[in-house]
Chains A and B, each alone.
Chain A
């Protein structure tokens, strides 16, 4: 009998540019239900950070409360982390982010944590274009408290007890777009070939990168009639495009037909190469992205892939002209310049 993960790893694991093997990005063993989609997303985060050559100590994992919000314990053991109060991750993340712009902020939340109790916080992080990755592990229910319908449960979706949800659902991707998010994507926990490059691109984005990932709850919301079950999502997933993230200075090897391909140069010089599957959609055009989302919803489909990107995005730091030096590195006299300085400022406000 056990609940420990053996220490041995594959002896020929490849190393990334920093000389780490992927296991350096792992966390402790998950205590979520066997088969939970959240665990797959954790694994995708591990892979994305490994492939992006990120130094784990440069990542801050931020979360709220929920099964999803527990997952930062299951990846990136060598990173910083803050497990906040239910729904309050955005404010804690904002504070941390403002104090130190040098870290990669990786927020992990649930549909309950974001779309119910944390809604008031979430919307402001989006509209401020806080430079962070915000992943919602969306299972359509409150997993941790035994599966009550959440605000993202689709109207008409049936829960485990057989009850049908009568309320309109909140479409988080549309909402984020509406509020001015500069990177919006949707994916599915069971599709790592799509999810991993999306997380990698989100981490490279300068501004608020929102990822709504459908993540089936095997225990409370994987029943027939649920629109967040493995089977349902597989049958109704409609990808906008196939997706390559080509790191800066790498030769481009994949060739797509002219006309269906779109390239977007990211902030750091790396390139997103999209092979479009959805014809009328343009990821750099917000209106077209909104239409694509609405169309998918009307057809009962789940649109996945990159939905919208504004690579010119200016984040909150740029808007507020904040200090490049982290606050904890500033000396007392710089942080608190004294009474004279205060008087000077006050004078300009009179």
Chain B
């Protein structure tokens, strides 16, 4: 193999598994170290710069970083990255004075944003410090988008939401709430230099089954129902409730129903339990609140008696896979199952819908009626109109919306400066030694064997009484510290200098996880993998290959299960290995911290 080009900013970025997996590339190990040092404010700001909503995300993030976390490859469970974020948010001091200063003289450019969800708010946050005039429209009465209307208060308290939404609205954003934008064509005539569409995926799928019309008073579309609960238009539900669907919306529906009077709430889902879309922890939380999840049941009909909903019938199915592994659900042939219900919540999916965007204003739509959006610039085929968040590529999650917001803000800023928006500025990177002395590093290189700590929950009998009572209590400071210690500091990179190596094997011998091998080189990566000291089967992780050494061999390090313990560097007599902290910050329209 060719020697690894560690100058490529993505090489070491990829080694920081959590940061690489985070759509907004939050420098996770950096903030975890700050938490361990009890520098909560700094830890908060490191987050805030990247993901804009640390308090919100510390409670609700989909956490794609955790399945990616290296710790999950050396022991059972990853670091509780997400809940550590909350520790920073819960324990920080006032941060207002650390926020960017907003110029009073504006730069003369005016930007509109449709929808006040996380995508638009991120665009606003990134552009405000540059003096842009920012106009935000939302049909709801307050900012936050789905974070306000959908995510229930027992998972995300309103105070946390308000605080983080207001940091942005207070940057001089001109917001117009309770106002739906009914025509993009009209908005385009209002002299905006760019328009960002962050209107989400606001339509819940319906189920057109027999009895749907007759029983409509007791059948609710999940996301509409959750919004009505959030805005207090709905405060009650029947005692027996069926929730249809297996995603996170279904989980929020059933848990909310439990708090509004549903004593017998059941989730019925078509697919097998293990294949449900909901995150494992959401399923656990539902189970903890005595909500049975009944899988392999396909809804057939709403049963109505005397004009009133009585329940639903279901067909029992089992999953069958064809030769391509494609799954279909086949009836078991058993008799239909009847389940009683006073109310049914339909949570079987969510769609985009853009009735307010005219089709003759230069915005191309594809065959699924989705706007054609460039995945890097987030520009539509109308150069002035950008999309981001759920509106761009369908429903995802908050952190993805934030990431889109950053990209779109960079594009809008470049465009307004008259520059080519396809020429993206490179990320900020820095690689600096952590060596302080003999066996002494500026990071804590000891590796603890503690297993993942559990976040404590409030008592069920309290939380089920009040839909605003937060269920998770968050880590206390002491537990937060111990959990933070589990992080392996994957951003402290093992950097190898061929010219210094005397091939003494000391690093090979000391490495606890057998990462390092000195061997003859091979042309192909697959062949080289076969020569390594320990099985190197995880091909998603790179091999770090040196230039040829005096013995004609190369140093090969499998990045897969490196503990970043620094022992290779401690053992190397010539400092051919060094532990160097890698900083990687994605490009943003403004430097905000």
Contact = CB atoms under 8 A, between A and B. Distances in A.
A210 interface: no
Contact of B513 (A9, A42, A189, A218): A9
B504 A190 contact: yes
B512 A9 contact: yes
B506 A2 contact: no
A42 B441 CA distance: 27
Contact of A33 (B445, B447, B565, B573): B573
Contacts of A216: 504
Interface in B441-472: 441, 444-447, 449
A319 B110 CA distance: 101
B504 A35 contact: yes
B447 A39 contact: no
A42 B508 CA distance: 12
B73 interface: yes
A34 B537 CA distance: 30
Interface in B504-536: 504-506, 508-510, 512-515, 534-535
A36 B509 CA distance: 11
A37 B534 contact: no
Contact of B571 (A6, A14, A35, A37): A35
Contacts of B514: 9-10, 13
A10 B561 contact: yes
A1 B440 CA distance: 4
B513 A4 contact: no
B449 A10 contact: no
A7 interface: yes
Interface in A215-236: 216, 218, 222, 230-231, 234
Contacts of A192: 505
Interface in A22-63: 29-30, 33-37, 39-40, 42-43
Contact of B572 (A1, A35, A37): A35
A11 B561 contact: yes
Contacts of B574: 35
Contacts of B164: none
Nearest to A29: B510
Given A5-B567, A34-B571, A13 B534 contact: yes
Nearest to B570: A34
B570 to A, nearest CB: 7
Contacts of A33: 573
B509 A8 contact: no
A253 interface: no
A12 interface: yes
Nearest to B437: A1
Contact of B534 (A5, A10, A34, A42): A10
B449 A7 contact: yes
A8 B502 contact: no
A11 B74 contact: yes
B510 A5 contact: yes
Contact of B75 (A8, A14, A234): A8
B439 A2 contact: yes
B136 interface: no
B504 A230 contact: yes
B534 A35 contact: no
Contacts of B570: 2-3, 34
Contacts, number: 102
B512 A35 contact: no
A8 B572 contact: no
B551 interface: yes
A40 B509 contact: yes
B289 interface: no
A184 B453 CA distance: 56
B348 interface: no
Nearest to B560: A10
B550 interface: yes
A111 B467 CA distance: 78
A216 to B, nearest CB: 7
Interface string B528-560: 000000110100000000000011000000000
Given A6-B447, A37-B504, A43 B439 contact: no
B573 A34 contact: yes
B563 interface: yes
Contacts of B513: 6, 8-10
Contacts of A189: 504-505
Contacts of B444: 1
A190 B505 contact: yes
Given A7-B449, A11-B73, A35 B563 contact: no
B158 interface: no
B509 A42 contact: yes
B566 to A, nearest CB: 8
A281 B158 CA distance: 86
Interface string A236-270: 00000000000000000000000000000000000
A6 B506 contact: no
A2 B446 contact: yes
Contacts of A10: 513-515, 534-535, 561
Interface string A183-196: 00000011010000
Given A8-B513, A43-B505, A43-B508, A218 B447 contact: no
Contacts of A222: 502
A218 B502 CA distance: 10
A230 B441 contact: no
A230 B502 contact: yes
Nearest to A74: B509
Give the residue among A8, A13, A218 with the most B Cβ atoms within 10 A: A8
A7 B537 CA distance: 22
B449 A8 contact: yes
A222 B574 CA distance: 12
B502 to A, nearest CB: 5
Q: Which of B75, B440, B571 has its CB near the most chain A CB atoms (within 10 A)?
A: B571
Contacts of B573: 33-35, 218
Contact of A218 (B503, B504, B563): B504
B506 A40 contact: yes
Contacts of B566: 2
Contact of B503 (A4, A5, A9, A190): A190
B500 to A, nearest CB: 11
Given A190-B503, A218-B504, A5 B512 contact: yes
Contacts of A36: 506
Contacts of B561: 8, 10-11
Contacts of A13: 514, 534
A175 B534 CA distance: 39
A40 B505 contact: yes
Contacts of A8: 74-75, 447, 449, 512-513, 561, 563
9 contacts: A1-B445, A2-B445, A3-B439, A7-B512, A9-B512, A30-B510, A39-B509, A40-B504, A230-B504
Interface of A: 1-14, 29-30, 33-37, 39-40, 42-43, 189-190, 192, 216, 218, 222, 230-231, 234
Given A10-B535, A222-B502, 9 more contacts: A1-B440, A2-B570, A6-B446, A9-B512, A10-B513, A10-B561, A34-B570, A190-B505, A218-B573
Please list the 6 inter-chain residue pairs (A to B) with the smallest Cβ-Cβ separation, ordered nearest first.
A35-B573, A6-B447, A43-B509, A10-B534, A12-B535, A1-B440
